Structure 1
């Protein structure tokens, strides 16, 4: 850690008041940090390890027989985890049930939040691929997708805030942290946008994504959804810099599992200028999560190949069962009507195939109902759900 980071002016406190009650709001200094970052040997090693892990993740999504398969699930897992950090109580099964339109008892507002997150990510990536830069306009567009339905829809989707916000506590004078007053939000964001596009400050794309995330969270430019959008910004920046081809990183798993440290690190930047401590944590998270994603992809490949081999040996029903298996690899939860519509097979044929797969222990019926049955490719779902249980 740099000996002089404690001398950094990380921002200034501004006197403000709400309903006659005075409080201090924090306005962050513009990036990059001043004095400059001190990347010691440990930090450089961590950064390089993170870059290697990202390279491996990028590589495995290129050699998979169907990369879309894994991305479909990775994006859902990241959306779920990011929403759970904000208190959402949905599980991966809830989300997949919601998408099946078979969602009795699923906490709808929670699942909508996760679904909105996926829309926002998809929108951001499409815009990037169409040549649109990461910009304040793009962040506003993504925010609109993030809050368009469900709980946040009354919190000015797509609009920067015009009123104060505070974090932790009943009022700003008793809050844990108070972001910049509303009239400082736009200047702070303009400076952040310049930093996103800077090319002359010798900061690596990976470190830039880490610094930008903290700055965005500190500015807290929206009334709601800042945490989720700030985590989306990381993935977007990594894709934009070419460090990832696809959003195959579920970094929120790391933030969720070390939630207290995540918030402590953000605070230490604001109170002590400890950008190096944050980057150490951030690089470790990138390396760890990339490694887990590669491991997950390899385990799923092994599972699918092994199960296909077992189905090929299943006799006359093998052809039907293999078609069903193919469908379950795309969506781990399926219903008979959905399978029938997708595969063009008769219901009796599908039921025989499902029976064969159940007898091999691959599938489990999860509703216990006589009608409207939902079948789960259980081992697949278990692997995907690791770490994705609500907090």
Structure 2
């Protein structure tokens, strides 16, 4: 794609203060391949939306899948934790959690903090982005200082490791101006010709190019993707998470970002994002189906082979998170403590759960949910 409709960044070591404002020229996305990719992504997303609204308790889906998103998105930033550590941390009191698991759970908290903020405000503003950023990083500042030296450097250990691959804009009032333009773009409902999926692809790249905060920009940008899909009416709840796809295609993700800034290669960027939405929608659809099927199969076993009271409520509880503790069932006022322990131990005998002794406490792992989330 020619750069005649988009001013590129010729020197990656100099702040891109001439980052083009939005909207971009329509010729940059009016392409048959782009529209074909868009159509596939929209079809897969629509199928996912239809499946998700059929779930009686959407908390099951939202809780479990957002944990996996938090883990994958954090791994992109080299924050690693195991599934076991993460699921245990989610089961514990906040004061008992530390290390990488705590940081990953803060990402998940940011998803919900931003979702609630957006629901209350009804539109995006700078406060939304700062809310997500502050919840995740625990910093109290806002936009980068005007003349803070910020470079995006190549990672790894190769010969070019450490070299700047992009220098975001900086200077008095520049970030404020660019963010105001971005916010106006995402809130503008007077642009019906721009499909929401085209819009989210443009806005995500623009946010990453602005790089408004001193840390957490990648994670904040990925959370924005989720919230924009909900805000635009394509999903009811934040359940489509692209981080697993981006983590798997991390090298291509950054190459495509760079290709837009260096060569105005928007077509490749759109195709990459649309393919991610299509594949992730299909993967999430399958996870929902597997979770519901597993839950129904276990319910039949409980009804036929046990005298457990309110088995549906017990299953709702153990499918809300991979690890369950006796305290969880008591706190939900489902059962008295001794009854809760008895029922969880019955699930162990039936092979539904595995009992693990961790740090002196008993944790009951839902084996099917653990398998589905890890697939």
Q: In structure 1, the residue corresponding to 2:194 is in which secondary structure? A: coil
Instruction: Classify 1:95/1:180 alpha carbon distance in 2 versus 1 (closer, same or farther; 3 Å).
Output: same
Partners of 1:201 and 1:59 in 2: CA distance: 23
- C-alpha deviation, 1:105, in angstroms: 9.9
User: 1:175 maps to which residue?
Assistant: 164
User: 2:28 maps to which residue?
Assistant: 37
Q: In structure 1, the residue corresponding to 2:16 is in which secondary structure? A: strand
Answer whether contact 1:265 1:277 (CA < 8 A) is retained: yes
Instruction: Classify 1:73/1:182 alpha carbon distance in 2 versus 1 (closer, same or farther; 3 Å).
Output: farther
Q: In structure 2, the residue corresponding to 1:276 is in which secondary structure? A: helix
Partners of 1:368 and 1:326 in 2: CA distance: 23
Deviates more, 1:53-62 or 1:193-202: 193-202
1:185 aligns with 2:159: no
Partners of 2:183 and 2:295 in 1: CA distance: 44
Answer whether contact 2:48 2:282 (CA < 8 A) is retained: yes
1:342 aligns with 2:332: yes
**TM-score of the pair, normalised by structure 2:** 0.88
Q: Which of the numbers 284, 290, 308 marks the counterpart of 1:293?
A: 284
Partners of 1:5 and 1:34 in 2: CA distance: 12
1:208 aligns with 2:199: yes
Q: In structure 2, the residue corresponding to 1:228 is in which secondary structure? A: helix
Partners of 2:163 and 2:56 in 1: CA distance: 54
Which runs of no fewer than 5 residues in structure 2 stay unpaired? 156-161
Note the alpha carbon deviations across 1:34-73, whole angstroms, 9 max, x for none.
4732432222121011111111111112111211211111
Note the alpha carbon deviations across 1:53-99, whole angstroms, 9 max, x for none.
11111111211121121111122222222111111112343223113
Instruction: Classify 1:99/1:25 alpha carbon distance in 2 versus 1 (closer, same or farther; 3 Å).
Output: same
Partners of 2:324 and 2:63 in 1: CA distance: 15
User: 1:359 maps to which residue?
Assistant: 349
User: 1:377 maps to which residue?
Assistant: 366
1:165 aligns with 2:150: yes
Q: In structure 1, the residue corresponding to 2:166 is in which secondary structure? A: coil
Aligned length: 367
User: 1:244 maps to which residue?
Assistant: 235
1:221 aligns with 2:212: yes
1:197 aligns with 2:187: yes
Instruction: Classify 1:180/1:13 alpha carbon distance in 2 versus 1 (closer, same or farther; 3 Å).
Output: farther
Note the alpha carbon deviations across 1:248-296, whole angstroms, 9 max, x for none.
1011111111111111110111111011110001001001101111110
User: 2:111 maps to which residue?
Assistant: 121
Q: Which of the numbers 312, 317, 328 marks the counterpart of 1:327?
A: 317
Answer whether contact 1:321 1:356 (CA < 8 A) is retained: no
User: 1:5 maps to which residue?
Assistant: 2
Answer whether contact 1:54 1:287 (CA < 8 A) is retained: yes
Task: Output the aligned Cα RMSD.
Answer: 2.8
Which runs of no fewer than 5 residues in structure 1 stay unpaired? 16-22, 387-391
Note the alpha carbon deviations across 1:184-217, whole angstroms, 9 max, x for none.
3222223222322343483211101101101111
Q: In structure 2, the residue corresponding to 1:190 is in which secondary structure? A: helix
Q: Which of the numbers 249, 253, 257 marks the counterpart of 1:258?
A: 249
Answer whether contact 2:322 2:369 (CA < 8 A) is retained: yes
Q: In structure 2, the residue corresponding to 1:24 is in which secondary structure? A: coil
Deviates more, 1:112-121 or 1:39-48: 112-121
User: 1:20 maps to which residue?
Assistant: none
Instruction: Classify 1:320/1:351 alpha carbon distance in 2 versus 1 (closer, same or farther; 3 Å).
Output: farther
Partners of 1:227 and 1:13 in 2: CA distance: 23
